[in-house]
Structure 1
Amino acid sequence: MPETTPRGLSRLAFGGDYNPEQWPESVWDEDVRLMREAGVTMVSVGIFSWALLEPEPGAYDFGWLDRVMDLLHDNGIRVDLGTPTVAPPKWFYRAHPDALPVTADGTRLAFGSRGAICHSNSAYRAAAAGITIRLAERYGDHPGLAMWHVHNEYGVPVSACWCDSCAAHFRRWLETRYGGVDGVNEAWGTAFWGQHYTSLEQIDPPRTAATVGNPGQALDYKRFADATMRENFCAERDILHRLSPGVPVTTNFMTALSQCDSVDYWAWGREVDIVTNDHYLITDGRRTHVNLAMAADLTRSVAGGDPWILLEHSTSGVNWQSRNPAKAPGQMARNSLAHVARGSEGAMFFQWRQSRRGAEKFHSAMVPHGGTDTRVWREVVELGATLDSLSTVRGTRTQADVAVLWDWHSWWAQSLDWRPSVDHDARERADAFYEALYDRHLTVDFAHPEADLSAYPLVVVPASYLMTQEAGRNLARYVENGGTLVVSYFSGIVDEHDAVHEGACPGALRDVLGLTVEEFSPLLPGQQVRVTGPDGPELTGDVWSEFVVPRGAETVWTYADGLAAGHPAVTRHRHGRGTAWYVSTRLTARGLDALLGRAAEDAGLPSRADLPHDVEVVRREGASGSFVFVVNHTATEAKVPLDGAGTELLTGERTAGRLAVPAGAVRVVHLDG
Structure 2
Amino acid sequence: MPETTPKGLARLAYGGDYNPEQWPESVWQEDVRLMREAGVTMVSVGVFSWALLEPERDRYDFGWLDRLLDLLHENGIRADLATPTAAPPAWFYRAHPEALPVTREGVRHAFGSRAAICHSNPDYRAAAARITRELAYRYGDHPALALWHVHNEYGVPVSACYCDTCAGHFRRWLADRYGAGDPAAAVAAVNDAWGTAFWGQRYGSLDEITPPRLTPTACNPAQQLDYRRFADATMRENFTAERDILHELAPGIPVTTNFMTALSQCDSVDYWAWGREVDLVTNDHYLITDGRRTHVNLAMAADLTRSVAGGAPWLLLEHSTSGVNWQPRNPAKRPGEMARNSLAHVARGSEGAMFFQWRQSRRGAEKFHSAMVPHAGTESRVWREVVRLGADLESLAPVRGTRTVPDVAMVWDWQSWWAQNLEWRPSEDHDARERADSFYETLYDRHLTVDFAHPEADLSAYPLVVVPALYLATEAAGRNLRSYVENGGTLVVSYFSGIVDEHDAVHEGPHPGALRDVLGLTVEEFSPLLADQRVTLTGPDGATLTGDVWSEFVVPRGAETVWTYADGLAAGHPAVTRHRLGEGTAWYVSTRPDSAALDVIIGAACEDAGIAPRTGLPRDVETVRRSGEHGDYLFVLNHTAHDVKVPLDTPGTELLGGEHTAGHLAVPAGAVRVVRLDA
- Could you say which residue in structure 1 is the equivalent of 2:284? 278
Aligned counterparts of 1:584 and 1:294: Cα–Cα separation in 2 = 24
Contact 1:617–1:631 (Cα < 8 Å) also in 2:
yes
- Could you say which residue in structure 1 is the equivalent of 2:128? 128
1:326 to 332, 340, 360: 332
- Could you say which residue in structure 2 is the equivalent of 1:540? 546
1:162-197 deviation per Cα after TM superposition (whole angstroms, max 9, x unaligned): 000000000010011111101100100000000000
Aligned counterparts of 2:653 and 2:569: Cα–Cα separation in 1 = 59
Aligned counterparts of 2:677 and 2:445: Cα–Cα separation in 1 = 24
Aligned counterparts of 1:539 and 1:223: Cα–Cα separation in 2 = 39
Query: Which amino acid in the other structure matches residue 12 of structure 1?
Result: L
Contact 1:484–1:579 (Cα < 8 Å) also in 2:
yes
- Could you say which residue in structure 1 is the equivalent of 2:298? 292
1:114 aligns with 2:120: no
Aligned counterparts of 1:371 and 1:551: Cα–Cα separation in 2 = 67
1:214 aligns with 2:224: no
Aligned counterparts of 1:650 and 1:139: Cα–Cα separation in 2 = 37
Deviation for aligned residue 1:657: 1.3
Moved over 4 A (4+): none
1:52-109 deviation per Cα after TM superposition (whole angstroms, max 9, x unaligned): 0001111110000000000001000000000000000000000000000000110000
Deviation for aligned residue 1:638: 1.3
SS of match in other structure, 2:513: coil
Deviation for aligned residue 1:606: 1.6
2:427 to 414, 421, 444: 421
Aligned counterparts of 1:585 and 1:603: Cα–Cα separation in 2 = 22
Aligned counterparts of 1:428 and 1:151: Cα–Cα separation in 2 = 30
1:597 aligns with 2:603: yes
- Could you say which residue in structure 1 is the equivalent of 2:182? none
SS of match in other structure, 1:508: helix
Contact 1:393–1:624 (Cα < 8 Å) also in 2:
no
Contact 2:82–2:149 (Cα < 8 Å) also in 1:
yes
Deviation for aligned residue 1:450: 0.1
1:576 to 568, 582, 590: 582
SS of match in other structure, 1:358: coil
1:362-402 deviation per Cα after TM superposition (whole angstroms, max 9, x unaligned): 00000000100000000000000000000000000000000
SS of match in other structure, 2:514: coil
- Could you say which residue in structure 1 is the equivalent of 2:537? 531
1:522-541 deviation per Cα after TM superposition (whole angstroms, max 9, x unaligned): 00011100111123631111
Q: How does 1:487-498 map to 2 (within 5 A)?
A: 487-498=493-504
Query: Which amino acid in the other structure matches residue 670 of structure 1?
Result: R
- Could you say which residue in structure 2 is the equivalent of 1:641? 647
1:304 aligns with 2:342: no
Deviation for aligned residue 1:624: 2.4
Aligned counterparts of 1:627 and 1:534: Cα–Cα separation in 2 = 43
Contact 1:620–1:628 (Cα < 8 Å) also in 2:
yes
Q: How does 1:410-489 map to 2 (within 5 A)?
A: 410-489=416-495
Query: Which amino acid in the other structure matches residue 210 of structure 1?
Result: P
Aligned counterparts of 1:197 and 1:548: Cα–Cα separation in 2 = 39
SS of match in other structure, 2:543: strand
- Could you say which residue in structure 1 is the equivalent of 2:174? 174
SS of match in other structure, 2:297: helix
**Number of corresponding residues:** 673
1:328-358 deviation per Cα after TM superposition (whole angstroms, max 9, x unaligned): 0000000000000000000000000000000
Query: Which amino acid in the other structure matches residue 248 of structure 1?
Result: P
- Could you say which residue in structure 2 is the equivalent of 1:234? 240
Aligned counterparts of 2:345 and 2:147: Cα–Cα separation in 1 = 21
1:425-475 deviation per Cα after TM superposition (whole angstroms, max 9, x unaligned): 010000000000000000000000000000000000001000000000000
Q: How does 1:43-122 map to 2 (within 5 A)?
A: 43-122=43-122
Q: How does 1:195-274 map to 2 (within 5 A)?
A: 195-274=201-280
Aligned counterparts of 1:650 and 1:492: Cα–Cα separation in 2 = 47
1:390 to 375, 388, 396: 396
Aligned counterparts of 1:434 and 1:360: Cα–Cα separation in 2 = 32
- Could you say which residue in structure 1 is the equivalent of 2:674? 668
Aligned counterparts of 1:388 and 1:624: Cα–Cα separation in 2 = 18
Which stretch of the first structure deviates more once superposed, 352-361 or 616-625?
Answer: 616-625
Aligned counterparts of 1:65 and 1:465: Cα–Cα separation in 2 = 49
Aligned counterparts of 2:8 and 2:60: Cα–Cα separation in 1 = 28
Aligned counterparts of 2:37 and 2:231: Cα–Cα separation in 1 = 44
Aligned counterparts of 2:364 and 2:669: Cα–Cα separation in 1 = 37
RMSD of the alignment, in Å?
0.6
Query: Which amino acid in the other structure matches residue 173 of structure 1?
Result: W
Aligned counterparts of 1:257 and 1:317: Cα–Cα separation in 2 = 20
Deviation for aligned residue 1:598: 0.1
1:133-158 deviation per Cα after TM superposition (whole angstroms, max 9, x unaligned): 00000000000000100000000000
1:152 aligns with 2:152: yes
Which stretch of the first structure deviates more once superposed, 125-134 or 537-546?
Answer: 537-546
Contact 2:263–2:433 (Cα < 8 Å) also in 1:
no
Query: Which amino acid in the other structure matches residue 16 of structure 1?
Result: G
Aligned counterparts of 1:610 and 1:203: Cα–Cα separation in 2 = 61
Deviation for aligned residue 1:609: 2.4
Aligned counterparts of 1:518 and 1:616: Cα–Cα separation in 2 = 42
Aligned counterparts of 1:282 and 1:315: Cα–Cα separation in 2 = 14
Aligned counterparts of 2:429 and 2:611: Cα–Cα separation in 1 = 33
Query: Which amino acid in the other structure matches residue 624 of structure 1?
Result: H
2:566 to 560, 567, 578: 560
Aligned counterparts of 2:381 and 2:505: Cα–Cα separation in 1 = 56
SS of match in other structure, 1:260: coil
- Could you say which residue in structure 2 is the equivalent of 1:351? 357
> Kindly, what percent of the aligned residue pairs are identical?
81
1:234-264 deviation per Cα after TM superposition (whole angstroms, max 9, x unaligned): 0000000000001000000000142311000
- Could you say which residue in structure 2 is the equivalent of 1:27? 27
SS of match in other structure, 1:658: strand
Aligned counterparts of 2:135 and 2:609: Cα–Cα separation in 1 = 53
Deviation for aligned residue 1:641: 1.0
SS of match in other structure, 1:158: coil
1:519 aligns with 2:525: yes
- Could you say which residue in structure 1 is the equivalent of 2:161? 161
Contact 2:101–2:116 (Cα < 8 Å) also in 1:
yes
Contact 1:257–1:279 (Cα < 8 Å) also in 2:
no
SS of match in other structure, 1:647: strand
- Could you say which residue in structure 2 is the equivalent of 1:15? 15
Aligned counterparts of 1:550 and 1:285: Cα–Cα separation in 2 = 40
Contact 1:17–1:350 (Cα < 8 Å) also in 2:
yes
Query: Which amino acid in the other structure matches residue 503 of structure 1?
Result: G
Query: Which amino acid in the other structure matches residue 560 of structure 2?
Result: E
Contact 1:406–1:447 (Cα < 8 Å) also in 2:
yes
Contact 2:643–2:669 (Cα < 8 Å) also in 1:
yes
Contact 2:306–2:314 (Cα < 8 Å) also in 1:
yes
Query: Which amino acid in the other structure matches residue 189 of structure 1?
Result: G
- Could you say which residue in structure 1 is the equivalent of 2:348? 342
TM-score, normalising length: structure 2: 0.99
